[in-house]
Structure 1
Amino acid sequence: MASNRRRALVTGASAGIGEAFARELARRGHDLVLTARRAERLEALATELRDRHGIEAIVAPLDLSRTDGPEALVGALEAQGLAIDVLINNAGYGVTGYLEEQPWATHAAFIQVLMTAPTELAYRLIPGMKARGYGRIVNVASLAGHVPGSAGHTLYAASKAYLIKFSQSLALEGKASGVHTTAVCPGFTYSEFHDVTGSRDLVSKMPGFMWMDAPTVARQGMDAVDAGKAVYVNGRVNQAIKAMFKLLPDGLALKMIERQGKRYRSGPHAG
């Protein structure tokens, strides 16, 4: 049955911040297209949100490390006549260890998921958004994109800094067409992220005031993109950290990251 509701595509929707965005969008009355690798989790979430909010939720399992993934996904949606009004580029993960310690294929897949796929999805969906005079794009970046990169997570901060700059450009390019883009930049957020990277025990040493919950990150992110903010840093603590590092000389900022990174890094380079 055709719907007049806005439709959102959420990547990495099976857990964490992606799942929280899906729940927030459903609460706001959006139809959903949910994509991630874990089909069972997507199906369970889609069923719950349909029953609870009366929206349409379509499951599209996909591994975005496939180079043909974004084109295939958008093509399938277009073939079904499903226009996307809201894009949540959330899919992501971390790769631990120094750059040369991982196979290049591991890094190539990381770059594909965290940088290439968000860029291509935006590229393929923006024309339709501009034609309809409405669009919202949220690129889930990180506080890490505002501070110097750390050893042992070589590409993570770099990928998030890319998303921030990319979002700023898209925000300017879409402003006159009703297409708002925001880089949402949370800090430490309760999710499965640290379990996947194997750093749960280490980051659990962080004080409680440093942490946020995923539903708050998603709600603030949607409010920020609706308000037309190109970059939004979640939480006052994270905003203060960003401001501090902006004022510090580069050399001092890098030394601070080096010292802190050793406290929360495991493996042969810890300590």
Structure 2
Amino acid sequence: MITGASSGIGAEIAREYARRGVPLILTARREDRLAQLADELRARVPIEIISADLADPTAPARLCDEIERRRLPVRILVNNAGYGVPGRYRSKDWKTHADFLQVMLGATSELTWRLLPSICAHGQGRIINVASFAALVPAADGQTLYAPAKAYLVKFSEALSLENADRGVHVTALCPGFTWSEFHDVTGTRAMMSKLPKWMWLHADAVARAGIDAAERGQVVVVPGAFYKTMYCLIRHLPDSWALKLMGRNSGKIRKVD
């Protein structure tokens, strides 16, 4: 099952799994986009679509009830649904932040909890949590909750990996950097982000393959792309105060901070 499967990395993960012959359950808010993707992939594998808005706290339970009603065994879970909230913390009302936290943390945690017995029952289960390179470096000014939420996914993945390794379950946190997708269109930062050099950008299909390959070999944290691997190594060796100051000087280039 892939959440947030209607576009971007989620859709490319669906396409990659379909190429590998894995039947799919696709979920997202936009049922029309899910239907289009299902029509594209149905010639390769069986596809089920279930629309759900994970900002609704009741959605994870209802989604899992529907999966059970259709008798769909889940061996692989991809927690991909997510977005960013542009601007500084007090520039948005609390409902906006609460919905964000529900999608990024609440829904991911609950879906994993509810589906884990099915995933473990297969003996070769996989969980991919789509985090971000932002989880691994000092937080930037703007989109205040984004990096903390993604850092949670990394630690969540590490803990789940240790807990379930003896059951044959591989858990992976996928941590891509800037990736060509609708993400920056939704946050209204496309014009700003387009000023960044093209070599800083990853393609969503390559990110999808990196995540799936990492899960298959049991790698817990994967950073796609040579540039981001190098940056991660460099930042890990900088004093925290230096790294934070460096991010502070450059936040305006990568975040909308008004």
Aligned to 1:4: none
1:50 to 42, 46, 62: 42
* Structure 1 letter corresponding to 2:74: I
Aligned to 2:194: 204
Aligned to 1:113: 103
CA distance in 2 between counterparts of 1:127 and 1:224 reads 22
Instruction: Check if 1:241 corresponds to 2:231.
Output: yes
TM-superposition CA deviations, 1:21-45 (whole Å, max 9, x none): 0000111001111111111110011
TM-superposition CA deviations, 1:118-150 (whole Å, max 9, x none): 111111111122223121000000000001111
Aligned to 1:35: 27
Deviant stretches of 4+, over 3 Å: 264-268
* 3-state SS of paired residue (1:60): strand
TM-score by length of 1: 0.93
TM-score by length of 2: 0.98
Tell whether the 8 Å contact from 2:12 to 2:205 is kept in structure 1 after alignment: yes
Spell out the pairing of 1:19-168 with structure 2 (5 A cutoff): 19-51=11-43, 53=44, 55-168=45-158
CA distance in 2 between counterparts of 1:121 and 1:264 reads 31
CA distance in 2 between counterparts of 1:242 and 1:147 reads 7
- Please list every run of 5 or more consecutive structure 2 residues that lacks an aligned counterpart in the other structure: none
2:210 to 208, 211, 220: 220
Tell whether the 8 Å contact from 2:127 to 2:170 is kept in structure 1 after alignment: yes
Deviation at 1:175, TM superposition (A): 0.6
Q: CA separation of 1:267/1:124 partners in 2, compared to 1, >3 Å: closer, same or farther?
A: closer
- Please list every run of 5 or more consecutive structure 1 residues that lacks an aligned counterpart in the other structure: 1-8
CA RMSD of aligned residues (A): 1.0
CA distance in 1 between counterparts of 2:71 and 2:124 reads 17
| Seq. identity, % | 48
Instruction: Check if 1:184 corresponds to 2:174.
Output: yes
Deviation at 1:237, TM superposition (A): 0.6
* Structure 1 letter corresponding to 2:212: M
Aligned to 2:164: 174
Instruction: Check if 1:11 corresponds to 2:6.
Output: no
* Structure 2 letter corresponding to 1:30: V
Deviates more, 1:189-198 or 1:95-104: 95-104
CA distance in 2 between counterparts of 1:49 and 1:263 reads 38
CA distance in 2 between counterparts of 1:245 and 1:184 reads 18
CA distance in 1 between counterparts of 2:103 and 2:257 reads 25
CA distance in 1 between counterparts of 2:256 and 2:66 reads 42
Tell whether the 8 Å contact from 2:88 to 2:257 is kept in structure 1 after alignment: no
Aligned length: 258
